Amino acid sequence: MFLRWAFFFLALLGQAWAVCPVTVRVETEKPIRTIPDDFCGLSYETKMVLPNTNTGKHYFRGDNLPLITAFKTLGIKHLRVGGNTAERATVNIPNEKDIDALFAFAKEADLKVIYSVRLQKNTPEAAAKIAKYVSEKYGDRLSCFIFGNEPNKDMKYGEFLAEWKKFREVIVRPEYVPSAKFCAPTATDRNPDWARDMAGEPGMKEMLAMIGQHYYPGGDGPDVKDIVKARDDMLSPAWHPKYQAFYDLFVPAVLKNGLKFRMNEGSSFSKGGALGASDTYSASLWILDYLYWWAHHSASGLNFHSGQKVLPGTVGPDKPNVYTPLTSSEGGYTILPPGYGIKMFELGGHGELLPVAVEKNKDKVNLVAYGVVPSPGVVNVTLINREYGPEGRGAEVTVDLGRGVGSGRVVKMEQESGEVSAVGGVRVGGKSFTEDGKWSGDWSALEQKAKGNELRILVGPSTALVLQVTLKQ
Domain residues of the chain, as ranges? 2-32+351-471, 36-348
Which CATH number applies to 2-32+351-471? 2.60.40.1180
User: Parallel, antiparallel, or unpaired for β 352-354 and 33-34?
Assistant: antiparallel
**Tens-of-pLDDT digits for all 473 residues of the chain?**
344 334 434 443 456 789 999 999 999 999 999 999 999 999 999 999 999 998 999 999 999 999 999 999 999 999 999 999 999 999 999 999 999 999 999 999 999 999 999 999 999 999 999 999 999 999 999 999 999 999 999 999 999 999 999 999 999 999 999 999 999 999 999 999 999 999 999 999 999 999 999 999 999 999 999 999 999 999 999 999 999 999 999 999 999 999 999 999 999 999 999 999 999 999 999 999 999 999 999 999 999 999 987 777 776 666 678 999 999 998 899 999 999 999 999 999 999 999 999 999 999 999 999 999 999 999 999 999 999 999 999 999 999 999 888 889 999 999 999 999 999 999 999 999 999 999 999 999 988 777 888 999 999 999 999 999 999 87
How far apart are the C-alpha atoms of 67 and 256, rounded to whole Å?
39
How far apart are the C-alpha atoms of 16 and 443, rounded to whole Å?
26
Evaluate the omega torsion of the peptide bond into residue 174 and state whether it is cis, within 30 degrees of 0.
no
3-state secondary structure of 326: strand
Q: What is the pLDDT of residue 274?
A: 95
Looking at this protein, which amino acid is placed at residue 442? D
Domain 36-348, CATH number (from 1.20.120.80, 3.40.1280.10, 3.20.20.80, 3.40.30.10): 3.20.20.80
Helix (H) or strand (E) run with residue 208 in it = strand 208-215
Burial class, 425, CB count within 10 angstroms (exposed 0-12 / middle 13-18 / buried 19+):
middle
Burial class, 275, CB count within 10 angstroms (exposed 0-12 / middle 13-18 / buried 19+):
buried
Q: What is the pLDDT of residue 450?
A: 76
Q: What is the pLDDT of residue 252?
A: 98
pTM: 0.95
Q: What is the pLDDT of residue 61?
A: 98
Name the region of 2 (left: φ>0; alpha: ψ -120 to 50; beta: rest): alpha
Helix (H) or strand (E) run with residue 411 in it = strand 405-415
Residue 211: name the closest of 163, 139, 259, 275 by CA.
259
Q: What is the pLDDT of residue 77?
A: 98
CA 449 from chain center: how many Å?
A: 33
Q: What is the pLDDT of residue 447?
A: 80
**Number of continuous H segments (helices) and E segments (strands) in the chain:** 11, 22
Contact status, residue 130 vs residue 97, Cβ threshold 8 Å: no
Sign of CA dihedral 251, 267, 382, 445: positive
How far apart are the C-alpha atoms of 302 and 319, rounded to whole Å?
25
Question: What percent of the chain is helix, strand and coil (3-state, nearest 5)?
Answer: 30, 30, 40
